[in-house]
Amino acid sequence: MREHLVLTPDDAAAWLQRQRLAGRSAAILSTCNRFEIYWSGGDDLEPWFREFAGARGIDLGTVLTRLDGAAAARHLFSVAAGLDSQILGETEILGQVRRAHQTAHTAGTSTRQLDASFCAAIAAGRRVRRETALGKHPASVSSAAVEVALDALPQGNSATAVVLGAGEVADGVMRALVERGVTRVTLVNRRAERASALASKWMVRTGAWEDFRALVACADLLFVTTGAKHHIVRATDLADTTAARASELVVLDLAVPRNVEPSARKLPGVRLFNLDDLQQLRCPAAGQPSIAVAEAERILAEELARLEESLRARAAAPQLAELHRLGSELAREEADRALASLDRLSDLERQVVREMAERLVRRVLYPVSRNLRVDDERTA
């Protein structure tokens, strides 16, 4: 289902452009483990979502979750904090939430309410990682994949690895491999310049795309991380390259849609893991509740309360502006009434009376205005 719902960056930008032209507020968060639409205002985008999924052969009746108001904000906070991820506390999701907000902001489909919610969620996610144990040992899908792969090999960090792709996930895999002491790594990508840049960053080798099969034949690990919408590693390719091997080839397919043909799992010389396997093997939620999770949820509750207070303050701002206008009008009326009975005052004295009336109004309204500004700045 996730494979059928994937939107490329260009697809997402085009959809947001249509929402902007229709005057709607919306943001899309599409990752390897989720497809979520956030919107604010009077428009309901759920019918579109159902139609979109139906056109791709998916019945959302059993998989669609809808949250409104505070519940939607609470979910976004949990996502940004990594509490709703395949890998508890994983770091990559925070950047994905930030990019989803930036994309909507650039497209002109993010209102002040949506901006406030995303900015507050990102700030809360940072605070969770800064103040709890979830940030002391940061995890990611990439690092979990490397752990699973090395656990499956008897030779551990002396293994030979091939990484296919040169995007964000590949970068994470390279980092995790280097941190685990794996030095025999080759990076392969269709665009040689991108492969060269990433390989230089981590001081590993690059391989030509046309040499991919030969490189895999000599490797112990294969990480597939491209953004292709189809299978680029066929079962027959792996069967040919592993036919003469004495040891297994461990393959990690970290792409959505999957880049490795699922039937490769049946090959005798191949151990294939995908993202669903990764979740089952490395999901801390299966264990006992964590102190770090409890601390994170306390932080999220505090930040949510702050956001709700700020949104209430913003909703009251127009009424406050009208109150200030009426206060100024009342000050003028009362000053005029007082001055009408004081006909022997000089121009300076009359001005003093008018300024006194205006100051009284400002002093009464200032504490309310100040509190609203402080709340607004906390989530800016």
CA distance 130 to 92: 15
Q: Answer with the one of 110, 131, 152 that is the final residue of a domain.
A: 131
Let me know if residue 248 belongs to a domain.
yes
pLDDT grade for 252, boundaries at 50, 70 and 90: very high
Active site residue 218: no
Q: Indicate yes or no: pTM above 0.75.
A: no
Does 177 share its domain with 237? yes
Average pLDDT, stretch 274-299?
75
Select which of 32, 119, 218, 283 is catalytic.
32
Does 214 share its domain with 93? no
pLDDT grade for 25, boundaries at 50, 70 and 90: very high
What is the domain-level CATH number for residue 218? 3.40.50.720
Q: What does DSSP assign to residue 229? A: S
DSSP letter string over 348-365?
Answer: HHHHHHHHHHHHHHHHHH
Contact 275, 252 (CB under 8 A): no
Return all residues near 106 (Cβ < 8 A) that are at least 6 apart: none
Predicted local distance difference test score (pLDDT) of residue 380: 47
Does 54 share its domain with 107? yes
pLDDT at residue 199 is higher than 90: yes
Does 145 share its domain with 281? yes
Does 109 share its domain with 62? yes
pLDDT at residue 286 is higher than 50: no
Let me know if residue 8 belongs to a domain.
yes
Question: What is the extent of the structural domain holding 97?
Answer: 2-131
Predicted local distance difference test score (pLDDT) of residue 137: 66
What is the domain-level CATH number for residue 127? 3.30.460.30
> pLDDT tens-digit profile of 331-363?
888 888 888 888 788 888 888 888 888 888 888
Return all residues near 28 (Cβ < 8 A) that are at least 6 apart: 7, 12, 15, 16, 35, 36, 37, 38, 100, 103, 104
Cross-strand partners of 186 = 162, 205
Average pLDDT, stretch 32-46?
88
| Amino acid at the residue 160 | T
Total domains, the chain: 2
Closest C-alpha among 221, 212, 283, 226 to residue 254: 226
How far apart, in Å, do the first and last CA atoms of the chain sit?
A: 36
Predicted local distance difference test score (pLDDT) of residue 333: 87
Let me know if residue 254 belongs to a domain.
yes
